[in-house]
Amino acid sequence: MSEKKPQDIPISFNLDDFYTTQKQREDEKKEKIEEINISLIDNFKDHPFKVLENEDMKALKESIQTSGLLSPVIIRKKDNGRFEMVSGHRRKYACESLGMDKIPCIIKDLSDDEATIFMVDSNLQREKLLPSEKAYAYKMKYEAIKHQGTSQQHDATLRQVVTKLRSDDKLGKEYGESGRNIQRYIRLTYLTKELLNMVDNSELKETPSIAFNPAVELSYLKENEQKVLADFINENLATPSLAQAIELRELSKNGTLDSMTIINKMSQEKPNQIAKIQIKEADLFKVIPKNIQRDKIEDYVLKACGYYTKYLKQKSRESR
């Protein structure tokens, strides 16, 4: 009876494991900071956050000049041998402005969806954000989360979770917003660039400016309707109230909104545009007789102003 040959059991191993220490293997897994040429780093596609020359940028440049760049940027490799910025656009801009050729980077292996979520999260932590920045950031992350859920629907457990908690609700929980408000911000991305800039002006304290709630309603207007509206606003420096914006949206929905209708609706005087003159009661009673009844005060003031106007005209004629 012939002996059975012992069966060879394949053993999977890395030859390097026999020649490296555990510490060396752990160090290789750690993220390393590398100096990468700035010219090889492209901005993130459709990056929604603005890089502005403001006081914060001035302070950042001064810090880099004094102490160097203390926090490395986050990048990922592209298929063409270049890199894409994930987090650090302002730092990259500051270093470029200071004439630096290289910048300290951490290279992460991220998918498109992972990179989008990382980029949005790292920027939404900033205190000062414009409505347009929030709008496009929420939209990008919302779509990335939805795409991740769709691509993993083979997992029944995950599918139940995705169905139970909508993408906008997930975003809202992260940023202290309701799912509805997330969707309202995303609606702003349907505005033309000119109108969206006016929404940003409401935060920048510049004119003309459109408040958030009317802007959401205006986002439902067609592009050509928004263009007519923007032209009117620029020429007249008059922006729509919430009531006007809702009315314009309804007219657009019904297909009855044309250029003249927009101009006519916007030309109507709004209650908040009627100038109001306020006089303190204490000051008023210093100049009117004490025996004037309260319900007669308005009539008394108007008549007094009328007599004073006649007096000024008479005095003007006498001085000629």
Token pair in block for residue 152 = 């993993």
- Claim to verify: residue 255 and residue 276 sit in the same structural domain: yes
- Residue 11 falls within a domain, yes or no? no
Is pLDDT at 13 greater than 60 in this prediction? no
- Residue 19 falls within a domain, yes or no? no
pLDDT value, residue 32: 87
- Claim to verify: residue 105 and residue 135 sit in the same structural domain: no
- Claim to verify: residue 220 and residue 163 sit in the same structural domain: no
CB of 104 closer than 8 Å to CB of 72: yes
CA distances from 14 to 7, 25, 176 (A): 22, 11, 47
- Claim to verify: residue 206 and residue 253 sit in the same structural domain: yes
In sequence order, the 6+-apart residues with CB closer than 8 A to the CB of 238 are: 208, 232, 266, 273
- Claim to verify: residue 184 and residue 197 sit in the same structural domain: no
Is pLDDT at 135 greater than 90 in this prediction? yes
Return the higher-pLDDT residue of 307 and 280: 307
Average pLDDT over residues 97-120: 94
Which residue, 140, 164, 189, sits at the end of a domain? 189
DSSP codes joined into one string, 202-260? HHHT-SS---HHHHHHHTTS-HHHHHHHHHHHHHH-----HHHHHHHHHHHHTT---HH
Average pLDDT over residues 294-312: 82
Token pair in block for residue 104 = 């300290």
CA distances from 72 to 12, 103, 203 (A): 37, 8, 30
Is pLDDT at 159 greater than 60 in this prediction? no
- Claim to verify: residue 205 and residue 279 sit in the same structural domain: yes
- Claim to verify: residue 195 and residue 282 sit in the same structural domain: yes
CB of 171 closer than 8 Å to CB of 180: no
Average pLDDT over residues 122-147: 88
Return the higher-pLDDT residue of 269 and 153: 269
Return the higher-pLDDT residue of 155 and 58: 58
- Residue 75 falls within a domain, yes or no? yes
Residue % of the chain over a pLDDT of 70: 80
pLDDT value, residue 161: 38
Q: How does residue 177 score in pLDDT terms, banded at 50, 70 and 90?
A: confident
- Residue 315 falls within a domain, yes or no? no
pLDDT value, residue 266: 94
Angle CA(79)–CA(85)–CA(86) in degrees, nearest 5? 105
- Claim to verify: residue 152 and residue 68 sit in the same structural domain: no
Average pLDDT over residues 110-119: 93
Read off the CATH number of the domain in which 87 is found. 3.90.1530.10
Which residue, 55, 80, 109, sits at the end of a domain? 109
Q: Any idea what DSSP says for residue 44?
A: P
| Residue carrying structure tokens 């939805």 | 146
Point out the least confidently predicted range of 94-103, 158-167, 297-306: 158-167
- Claim to verify: residue 148 and residue 230 sit in the same structural domain: no
Q: How does residue 315 score in pLDDT terms, banded at 50, 70 and 90?
A: confident
Return the higher-pLDDT residue of 152 and 299: 299
- Claim to verify: residue 102 and residue 147 sit in the same structural domain: no
21-53 pLDDT tens trace: 655 555 555 678 999 999 999 999 999 999 989
Is pLDDT at 133 greater than 90 in this prediction? yes
195-238 pLDDT tens trace: 999 999 999 889 899 999 999 999 999 999 999 999 999 999 88
Is pLDDT at 319 greater than 80 in this prediction? no
Point out the least confidently predicted range of 122-126, 225-229, 237-241: 122-126
Average pLDDT value over all residues in the chain: 83
CB of 208 closer than 8 Å to CB of 237: yes
Average pLDDT over residues 185-195: 96
Is pLDDT at 4 greater than 60 in this prediction? no
- Residue 298 falls within a domain, yes or no? no
Which residue, 189, 209, 237, sits at the end of a domain? 189
Instruction: Give the three-class secondary structure for 91.
Output: helix
- Claim to verify: residue 254 and residue 163 sit in the same structural domain: no
- Residue 12 falls within a domain, yes or no? no
Is pLDDT at 111 greater than 70 in this prediction? yes
Q: Which domain holds residue 201?
A: 191-290
Return the higher-pLDDT residue of 171 and 205: 205
- Claim to verify: residue 229 and residue 267 sit in the same structural domain: yes
Point out the least confidently predicted range of 104-118, 186-200, 291-305: 291-305
How many domains in the chain? 3
- Residue 310 falls within a domain, yes or no? no
- Residue 176 falls within a domain, yes or no? yes
